[in-house]
Amino acid sequence: MKLLVAVKRVIDYNVKVRVKADETGVETANVKMSMNPFDEIAVEEAVRLLEDGTATEVVAVSLGVQQCQETIRTALAMGADRGIHVKTDEELQPLAVAKLLAKIVEKETPDIVILGKQAIDDDSNQTGQMLAGLLGWSQGTFASKVYLADGKANVTREVDGGLETLAINLPAIVTTDLRLNEPRYASLPNIMKAKKKEITEITPDELGVDVAPRLTTLKVTEPPKREGGIKVETVSDLIDKLKNEAGVI
C-alpha cells in the first residue's frame, strides 16, 4: 500500500505574525518557517502505518518555492521514503494545490492521500475536500483515528456533536485533526539519512496545471487592539455595565 502525504511550508506557529507596511500580506522575510503542524500529524500517521507493515511506501509532496525542499527533508527525516517537489514561485491557492495533487496522484497511484485538515497560514480547510472531488474518491475529514483493513479505512472524525466513525472504500483522502497522534522529533541519524533520499522536482507546466490565482487579496490588516478591563465594586455595577454598556443582557 502506497501513501501520499502533502506537506506545506508555513510561518512557524511560535512566531508572532506581522502585517506588511503596505498591507498586501504578512511579513515572511527573515521569518522562521516550518512544516504546517497538521501536516506533521499527517506524516506521523503515514510513518506509523509504514512501521506496522500496513504501508509499503510513503511519498511526501510539497508545492511552492525552492525552500519547500527543506519541508520535504523534514518529512523524510521523520520516516518518509522519498519526496516530490512541485516548484513554483506563484501564489498557490487551494484549488490550484488540489489540481496539482490530483495530477501527482494520477502518476503515483497511491491508495491513500493524507493531508492536514487545514494550514495555519490561510486556515482554508479546502484542499482535501477539493482533491477528493476532483478524483472522485472517498474522504474522511478531521480524522482523530484511522484504521485500515480489508480495502477499507475506518475513520473516526470529530464533529460538532462528538465523534463519528465512517467506513470508506480505498482509494481515499484523509485529513488529520490534532488528536490523531503526537508527531515525533526527527533524530540526528535520520536527519542525516534524509539528505540522501530522493526528491523529484517538477513544475506545474509539466503537470499541465494552470495555477493562476482565482482570488485577489485586497488588503490585510491586524485585528483591533483589545482594550483593558475594568474592576467594578458591586454586582449591581457589573449588571449595569453588562446591560447598558456591553449590551449583552
The pTM of this model reads 0.86
Class of domain 2-246: alpha beta
What is the domain partition of the chain in residue ranges? Answer: 2-246
Cα–Cα distances in angstroms (integers) from residue 160 to residues 41, 125, 142, 164, in the given order: 21, 16, 11, 10
Per-position pLDDT tens, the chain of length 249: 999 999 999 999 999 989 998 988 888 888 999 999 999 999 999 999 999 999 999 999 999 999 999 999 999 999 999 999 999 999 999 999 999 999 999 999 999 999 999 999 989 999 999 999 999 999 999 999 999 888 899 999 988 888 999 999 999 999 999 999 999 999 999 999 999 999 999 999 999 999 999 888 899 998 888 888 888 899 999 999 888 887 888
| Exposed / middle / buried, residue 2 (Cβ in 10 Å: 0-12, 13-18, 19+) | middle
Task: Read off φ and ψ for residue 188, nearest 5 degrees.
Answer: -60, -45
Task: Read off φ and ψ for residue 22, nearest 5 degrees.
Answer: -90, 5
